[in-house]
Amino acid sequence: MKLKQLIAVLLTLVTLGPIMTVPASASSKVMPKSMRGTWVAKPQYNSPHHIKKNMWCPKLKLRVYKKSATWQAKGYLPDKMYNHKIHKIRLVSYKSGLALLKGNTLFTKRNFLSVNGKILDFGQEHGGDIFLHRAK
């Protein structure tokens, strides 16, 4: 009897062992669903006269996906003309509500995303934030 029980336990462990010890895949870093979707920011100006010379932050459209995001800036800055192309940035890490993104970024090499209520904070590496709202 003991030999049959031992063989039954070993067979159970051999068949169920690989299922119970599957490691988590490296592709499990994803952005939360509250962050995903289309976000927009209005252009911001230095003076009440809305002319191209006074723009300090262009109109921005950001689409957040599961593992990446795309952004498109429309506007004119004196030192930089935005080409209206869609640029892609990818998720490097997500930890405690802050997503680190790398790729073809807006101002610096690294950008951060975080959600605070109904506002998405699109921050740059050396300071500076752009606050975006859901697209309607």
Q: 45-59, pLDDT tens digit by residue?
A: 877 776 766 777 788
Mean pLDDT for the chain overall: 81
CA 15 to chain centre: 39
Residue 26: predicted pLDDT: 46
Give the C-alpha separation, 125 to 131, whole Å. 15
Residue 96: predicted pLDDT: 85
Residue 61: predicted pLDDT: 93
| Choice between 136 and 135, residue whose per-residue pLDDT is larger | 135
Using DSSP, state whether 110 is helix, strand or coil.
Answer: strand
Question: Could you tell me the pTM of the whole model?
Answer: 0.72
Average confidence (pLDDT) over 66-86? 79
